[in-house]
Amino acid sequence: MAFDSLTEKLQNIFKNLRSKGRLTEDDVKEALKEIKRALLAADVNFKVVKDFIKKVQERAIGQDVMSGLNPGQMVIKIVNEELVELMGSETTDIQLQPGSAITVIMMAGLQGAGKTTTTAKLAGKYKLKGKKPLLVACDVYRPAAIKQLQVNGEKQGVEVFAMGENNKPANIAKAALEHARKNGHNIVILDTAGRLHIDEDMMGELQEIKEAVTVHQTILVIDAMTGQDAVNVAKEFNDKIGIDGVIITKLDGDTRGGAALSVKAVTGKPIFYAGMGEKLSDLEQFHPDRMASRILG
């Protein structure tokens, strides 16, 4: 999965630290320099890396570490803790409305990020939890997108609401909500149109949907393979339309994974889930602590 190369590098750095027994301040500084290089090579945002190393250094050069019994272990522990903190500390889930009230979730993201696939993955998760989701085809520009949502919805045994290509997404969302109320759906997931790049039209359309219906959770789907770009996209979406959290896809691939480490620090918004494959069951809840352990190997 992503991070394989980062993990290997960190393990080497740690092995070196452990073998030293007593550590001098210079040993720690040298190790931190190597960690910095490894994080940058994994495509972690530059400012995020700088802040991260500064924090670890402040703690590691403190007396408690240097006078500790096993300073090498202590540095590793600090790196672990700071990685967890970097990814948001707590596991954060998509927030559903209480009781039987309908939760409206809007999925946003660039074309190809994995939005439609992730929409169907989420629906499957909710169905397993006994919810009654409704998927809504708001991507009216690509007939293939509507079809793809229908095919995936069928695979998941979840109803898909579509009105073809000749309606405005905001109107489709409104009609879908009406349909959900009448048919006892308690989660409505809007699959919106992506573009190759962020543009005013896309943002305007998302804004219009938000004005037409009450959206409880706006989720941005980003592609881990696009590295630093994914994080820039997240920042821009958050600044323009406001997001509640992120789902990061393709973490199973041979990516460098840096986006997963940078998103929370750059946007302030948590990662809810991670896409770990093309199959509709390949969606994992994102746990910062477990992810940190995975990265450290």
* C-alpha dihedral sign at 24, 29, 30, 34: positive
Of residues 155-174, those binding ligand GDP (CB under 6 A): none
Cβ of residue 263: shortest distance to ligand GDP, in angstroms? 15
- Residue 113 annotated as lining a ligand binding site: yes
Total residues binding ligand GDP (CB under 6 A): 18
Of residues 101-120, those binding ligand GDP (CB under 6 A): 109, 111-117
Residue nearest to ligand GDP according to CB distances in the complex: 275
Q: x-or-dash pattern for ligand GDP, window 185-224, by CB under 6 A?
A: ---------x------------------------------
Report CA dihedral (84, 89, 95, 98) to the nearest 10 degrees: 140
Contact between 277 and ligand GDP by CB under 6 A: the answer reads yes
Q: Between residues 71 and 133, which has the closer beta carbon with respect to ligand GDP?
A: 133
Contact between 284 and ligand GDP by CB under 6 A: the answer reads no
Q: Residues with Cβ < 8 Å from 191, sequence gap 6 or more?
A: 107, 115, 116, 119, 135, 136, 137, 138, 139, 145, 149
For the beta carbon of residue 221, count every other beta carbon within 10 angstroms.
27
Q: Residues with Cβ < 8 Å from 241, sequence gap 6 or more?
A: 108, 203, 206, 207, 210, 218
- Residue 144 annotated as lining a ligand binding site: no
Cβ of residue 5: shortest distance to ligand GDP, in angstroms? 18
- Residue 114 annotated as lining a ligand binding site: yes
Contact between 257 and ligand GDP by CB under 6 A: the answer reads no
H or E segment and range at residue 225: none
- Residue 214 annotated as lining a ligand binding site: no
163 three-state secondary structure:
coil
Length of the chain: 297
Segments of 117-179 assigned E as strands: 133-137, 159-161
- Residue 111 annotated as lining a ligand binding site: yes
The binder of ligand GDP chosen from 7, 186, 249, 267 (CB under 6 A): 249
Query: Where do contacts with ligand GDP occur on this chain (CB under 6 A)?
Result: 109, 111-117, 194, 249-250, 252-253, 275-278, 282
Q: Which residues are annotated as a binding site?
A: 109-116, 191-195, 249-252
